[in-house]
Each structure stands twice: as C-alpha cells, then as structure tokens.
Structure 1
Amino acid sequence: MGIAGSGRLSPNAALFLLASILVSFLAASAAPTPLYGIYQERWHFSPITTTVVFAVYAVAVLATLLTVGKLSDHVGRRPVLLVAIAVQIVALVIFVFANGVPALLVARVVQGLAAGAATGAVGAAMLDINRVRGTLANAIAPGIGTGTGALLSALLIRYLPAPTRLVYVVLLVILLIQGVGIVLMRETVTPMTGALRSLRPEISLPRAVRGRLLGVLPVVFAVWALAGFFGALGPALVRALMNTSIVVAGLLLFVFGLVGSITVLLLRNAAAQTLMLTGIGALILGMVITLVSVMMESVPGFFVGLALGGVGFGAGFQGSLKTVIPLVEAHERASVLSLLYIVCYVGFGLPTVVAGFLVVYAGGLPMTANEYAVAIILLALVALLGLRRSRTASPG
C-alpha cells in the first residue's frame, strides 16, 4: 500500500468516504430517471429519445473506462478521483440549466465521463484499504446509489419547489464535501511510470482471471441490463399499469436497489458459487413473475418481480466480484475492475436503446417489457450453463 501524502483520515473513515463517493456517483446517474416524464412533457420527445438520453451515459462511461480506467494505477487514486468529482459537478450544473434534449445529452455524456474515471479508481482504492470490506462495498454501493438517487429525486420533485433543479443542487453540495474528504485522504498506491501509455485503449486480462471472468459475464450483463430497463422505462411502465404519482415511479428503482443491497449484506459471507446460483435463480423467478404481472396488469406482482430482480442483481454482481477479485494482484485492480464495469455498462445501455425502439415500432411498452423479461431469462439460463461447465472444468 502506498503512503503518498500524509492523510488525516483513518482507514475506516477513508473506506466509508470512498463508498459514499461511489453511492453519490450512482445516485447522480439515477437522479434524472423520475424526471424523464417531466422532460418528455415539456420538450415533446418519444421513448426512443428517453432511452438514448439514458444510454449515452453508458457509452461515455465505456469510452472513459477504456482509456482512463487504468490511470489511477499509475498516478494514484486521489488525483483521478478529484478530477472525476470536478467533472461530475460540471454535469450537474448543466442539468440545472438544461432547456432541451441537447442539454440533457451533453449532461449525460459529461456525467458518464466522470463516472467512468471514478469507477475503477474508487473501487480499487477500497480494495487497497481492505480487500474483503472493499469487495463488499463495491457490491453494495450500486444498489444504494441507484435506489436513493431515484427516490430522492422523486421526493424532491413531488414535495419541494424547482423540481428539475433541486436534486442536482443537493448532489452538487454532497460532492463538494466529498472532494474535501479526498484531499484529506491518504493515497493508497505508490504512483508508477507509464501513465500516458495506460491511456491507450486496450482490453487486457491477467491470465489467472480470464476463465473465471468469462464465466461470470452473462450474469453481469443480465443484471445490469435489468437495472438499465427499470431505470429508463420502468417508471413509464408503472404509469401504464396504473395512474400513480411520481413518487411511486421513484420507488421503483429504490426497491430494486435496496433489495439488491440487503441481499449483498445478508449473503456477504456466502461462497461465490452460492451467490451466483442465488442470483441466477432470483433473476429467472423474478422475470417470470414480472411477465405474468404485466400481462395481468398487476402492480403488486410487478413489484414482487422487481424485488426478486433486486435479489438477482445483488447476489449476481457480488458473486461475480467474489469470483474474480481474489485472483487479482494489487497493481491490476483498477484495470480488471474497469473491464468488469465495461461489461456492466454495455448491458446497462445497449439493450435499453433496443427496448426504446421496440416500444415505438414493435408493439408498445407492455409487450416490450415481456420481451425484455424473456431475454433476461434466456441470459440467466446461459449463465447457469456456463457456471455448471466451469464448475465441472475446475471443481476446486
């Protein structure tokens, strides 16, 4: 572990700070979700535009992970995180003054650049401090961040003034405070040469993790594709099932994220194989219930399927991390985590855009939700087959 800088934060405080930053970044990415309906009414755009605005974030994250993902291994975690926080603040300012779809697109791209830069660095820094607790924090933060961001946004929209601005101002203040925390934190790695060379886009994996990573990719893709669908089109689907308030729409991602995070906590001591099987089983059952609920227009059933999807997200993602991370050396952590998150954000963005086109051109929102659920079930079955094959190939 590096000792650059005389940090004033204890390791426990630094770990909490880093986890809170990951939560804040994911909360910022989820905050626009309840607002898409308001934006759509004001600026008259289609569900395709909604999913494109949602998905350009994922594209920007991917581009940044491919280039900046390994940078913190060379220059240190703190400089990368400080720049990422500054860029995220710029994105939030653009959201505050957004007056049309072009501004939304720019804000989401800038937000994606910030998230891509931060993801590998903050995740690796938590592992630097404590590998076991860092792995747990990496698994639990996405659910907490996504859920709280959407619900906070919905509550502020419903009960306080300036509905399209206030949530971004709140997040901006939180990020400023966290930036001060990073300044006070001790650097966790010793910087090394090769920073410019690390910016060249390349996908490289240590030989020790290749087989394990390939085995978990279908699960990672499936659970993040599910999160992307609920984030982009879930609120509209709930409104189609029943005429309800925007708070219920925000509650959608909150339930998904909260259940996912609780699952991570409850199963934190479970073996990776157990987690993966639990995640796959919950995904399949949750999507079957979602299929039936959409056909029967049952909102309670839809939320049950949503909650099981949250179990699948939490267990599947945590199991993937537990499968891969123990095999990674310290100097490879940021690059391997970045590669894992590349798969996450491909799943997060690409299927969602496809779903947007299906909503407009192939049968509407309920039919698209059914088709999406079937696709998730098929991915989960592929993951189950892959898991059984890898277990057979390496029984230990």
Structure 2
Amino acid sequence: MAATATVAAPVEQGSQTWAYALILAAGGVALGVSGAPAPLYGMYQQAWHFSPLTTTFVFAVYAVAALVAVLVSGRISDVVGRKPVLLGACALMILGLVVFLFADNVAMLLVARALHGFAVGATVVAGAAALLDLRPTQGARSGQLSGVAFNIGMAVAILGSALLAQYAPYPLRTPYVVITLACLAIGAGVLALREPHTARIAGRIKISRPAVPSEIRSDFWFSALGVMAAWSVLGVLLSLYPALASAKTGIHNLVFGGAVVASTAIAGAGAQYFAGGIPARRAAIIGDIGMAIALLLTIPALNTHNWVLVLAAGFLLGTTFGLGFGGSLRHLSSVVPHHKRGETMSAYYLLAYSAMALPTVVAGWAATTWSLTAVFPWFVVAVALACLTAAGLGLRPRKA
C-alpha cells in the first residue's frame, strides 16, 4: 500500500489548546492499560494453577507486541499522520479489554496482552511524535511531562485495579470495565483532534529499520542505555515484585501489592516533574547511579519482612527510576531532528521494550527452576550493573 505526500493546512495558533494535554492523557491511559492486570496475575495463577514462568510469558507477550508496534508505528505516523495511529491504538486497547473480560484460560490472556502491547507501543511512539509536532521547541519539556503522565497513569490503574479486585464484585471483570470507560473517553477526544502532523512524508507503509540520525548517535545511545536499565527494573517490578513483597511481609491483600507498585510509580512521576530544573543528562546519570543503589537496598528491605521498609524501598527505587528514565527521555527529545522524530522514537522504545521483555522472562524461568526469593538478588545485581554501565557512558567526555 503506497502513500502519497500530503500537506495539511497549518493549524491555527491557539486552536485546540487542549490537544497537548489530550496526548499526554492518552499516554497515561495507555500505560494504565499496560499495568492494570499486574495486581490480578496472582488471582489468575491461583485459579488456573500456572507457574511464575507463565506469568512472565504473559507479560513478555505484551512487550514483544510492543516491539512490533514501535517498528511500524513511527513510520506509519510519519506517512499517514498521528491521529489515525492513535485512533487505531485506542480501538485495540478496548478490544484487548473485552478479551480480558471474557478470559477463562491462559491463551486468552496472551491474546489480550498482545493486543495491548501493540496498542500501547503505537500510542507511546505516535504520541511522543505528536507532542513534538505540537510544541517543536519544547522537546525536553514534552519528554518530562510524558514520563510524568506514564507513571501517574500506571499508578492510578494499578492501585485502582487492586482496590476493585479486592472489594468490588467480579474481581476479574470490574477493573477492565472501568478502564474501558477511560479508553472510550480518550478515543472521543482523539476523534475531535485536528491532525498535528501537518507536513507528512511520502513513502510506503512497511516494517522498516528504526533510524538513528548519525549526528545524535552518541546522545541516542546514552539515552537508550539509560531507558533499557530503567525498563528492566520496570518489567520485573510489574510482573513478579508484588508477589515477592506479599510473600516476604505476609500481607496478601491485593491492595498492598498494588500499593507497592503504585508508590513506586508515583515517586517516579514526582521525580520527573520536580527534576525539570536539573539538566537532562545530569538527571539521567544521577538516576542511573541511584537506581543501582536503590535496587541493592530492596534486598535487605525485603529480608526485614517489614511492610513499611518494603514500601520505602519501592518509593526510593521509583524516585531514582524517575530521574533515570525522565532524564534519558528529556535528553533525547531535546536533540532529535524534527524530520526524524517518528523513526528515532521507534528505535528508542524498541530497545526499551526489549530490555523489559528479556530479563522478565529469564527471571520467571529462573524463579520456576529455583525460587523467586533465590533468584531476585541475582537479578538485582545484574540490573544494578547495567544501570552503572549507563551512568559510566554518560560520564565519558563527549566527542566534539
């Protein structure tokens, strides 16, 4: 299918002033969709008697589908516009939620997560490009606010899902109904949105290799290694850490598991918002080093079996995650050439989702072979080393 070059009429200054906030909200809701099932995995596991490895496969299917999305959605949004991609992603999110509503086996969970992975990946990439279209001179600020929106969306969805599953009727159904309503509201807003990408390029819509402009290659790899380390933490945090925290503290209320992840996400949002005055590269380096330290501190915190210390360790981890991820995203957003936004953000999130999927599956396999308690310290040390590697790259003198 070939696409011809089109040039839309320029958007009037001051029109649709809500468009920027809508795109941020769409990103938040998308990450909320990705995180909403996290507190429910334990219930699925008990009801259907599957192992931690199966849980990580369900999670990894989401990440793999997101990888496919970031390979194509940047290019598609450059050719046909951001709005069609965002609308399609919203429809897929709702379809995935419907599959969750009727799921009665692991295969349906895999289908639902695949749909959500593709939808969220497309939303993240097309949304990042749309924000740069709307405010091309505020790339760093857009990167900062995107990170805040992602974390807030995830925190609200995870904690809300846990509360509904614990106290509302139909615990494996009600959370998905509520988040479907949020997706419908976002979809209505996108329908009313004027296309922000007003100078689309000609080209064939196909899977293409994500592009990294040569002039920002060093900056790109610094940012990419930082997000890879951060999202490695995020993968196991969402899939396995709540169960480990509950096992160590003896608190098996779903709200506690949700609160562990939600407090981490809220801390991340706060760090990204209030660190706006710190230069992006410096914030990323501080965050990478801080994540390494915070990760190592989770081990003694869990071994105390004290829920306050477990929450505190998660909060510290979230704060440093926010600095690392937010600084990396702000740095890249401030240097990416405007004509390469879609493909560059595709490359960035391709590496991010790879880093989320692979360690998660390895940790799930190891937890099945040994135990989650035995595996977790080794995972923490490995990811801490990755964080320090990213920080070391950032500390190297920049080439002229």
Bin of the TM-score, shorter chain as denominator length = over 0.9
Tell me the alpha carbon deviations over residues 243-289 of structure 1, each in whole angstroms, 9 at most, x when there is no partner.
Answer: 22110001111111100000011101210222012202320221121
1:265 maps to 2:270: no
| 8 Å Cα contact 2:55/2:239 also seen in 1 | yes
Partner amino acid, structure 1, of 2:321: F
Report the equivalent of 2:304: 296
1:228 maps to 2:235: yes
| 8 Å Cα contact 1:7/1:185 also seen in 2 | no
Report the equivalent of 1:380: 387
1:143 maps to 2:148: no
- Identify unmatched segments of 5+ residues in structure 2: 1-6
Deviation at 1:171, TM superposition (A): 1.3
TM alignment of 1:1-396, pairs within 5 A: 4=9, 10-130=15-135, 131-132=138-139, 133-197=141-205, 199-244=206-251, 245-362=253-370, 364-389=371-396, 392-394=397-399
**More deviation in 296-305 or 14-23?**
296-305
| 8 Å Cα contact 1:148/1:254 also seen in 2 | yes
**Secondary structure of residue in 1 paired with 2:359:** helix
Tell me the alpha carbon deviations over residues 104-160 of structure 1, each in whole angstroms, 9 at most, x when there is no partner.
Answer: 001001111111222211111112112244222222122112211110100111121
Distance 2:14 2:169 in 1: 37
Partner amino acid, structure 2, of 1:177: A
| 8 Å Cα contact 2:231/2:352 also seen in 1 | yes
| 8 Å Cα contact 2:286/2:324 also seen in 1 | yes
Tell me the alpha carbon deviations over residues 206-245 of structure 1, each in whole angstroms, 9 at most, x when there is no partner.
Answer: 1122111112322211111111111000111012112221
Is the alpha carbon distance of 1:7 and 1:253 closer, same or farther for their aligned partners in structure 2, counting shifts above 3 Å?
A: farther
Partner amino acid, structure 1, of 2:33: A
Deviation at 1:290, TM superposition (A): 0.7
| 8 Å Cα contact 2:210/2:344 also seen in 1 | no
- TM-score, length basis structure 1: 0.94
Distance 1:338 1:214 in 2: 14
**Secondary structure of residue in 2 paired with 1:267:** helix
Partner amino acid, structure 2, of 1:239: S
Aligned pair count reads 390
| 8 Å Cα contact 1:8/1:186 also seen in 2 | no
Is the alpha carbon distance of 1:168 and 1:322 closer, same or farther for their aligned partners in structure 2, counting shifts above 3 Å?
A: same
Distance 1:377 1:348 in 2: 14
Tell me the alpha carbon deviations over residues 289-342 of structure 1, each in whole angstroms, 9 at most, x when there is no partner.
Answer: 112223333433322221121122211112112222222222211211121111
Distance 2:49 2:10 in 1: 51
| 8 Å Cα contact 1:289/1:304 also seen in 2 | no
Partner amino acid, structure 2, of 1:357: W
Tell me the alpha carbon deviations over residues 59-109 of structure 1, each in whole angstroms, 9 at most, x when there is no partner.
Answer: 000012112222111111111111111111110100000011000001001
- Identify unmatched segments of 5+ residues in structure 1: none
Distance 1:60 1:8 in 2: 37
| 8 Å Cα contact 2:233/2:356 also seen in 1 | yes
Is the alpha carbon distance of 1:327 and 1:359 closer, same or farther for their aligned partners in structure 2, counting shifts above 3 Å?
A: same
Deviation at 1:44, TM superposition (A): 0.6
Tell me the percent identity. Answer: 34
Partner amino acid, structure 1, of 2:191: V
Distance 2:188 2:10 in 1: 14
Distance 2:89 2:169 in 1: 29
Distance 1:123 1:204 in 2: 16
**Secondary structure of residue in 2 paired with 1:203:** coil
**Secondary structure of residue in 1 paired with 2:392:** helix
Deviation at 1:17, TM superposition (A): 0.9
Distance 2:88 2:40 in 1: 27
Deviation at 1:9, TM superposition (A): 9.0
RMSD, aligned CA:
1.9
Tell me the alpha carbon deviations over residues 152-174 of structure 1, each in whole angstroms, 9 at most, x when there is no partner.
Answer: 10011112111111111111111
**Secondary structure of residue in 2 paired with 1:154:** helix
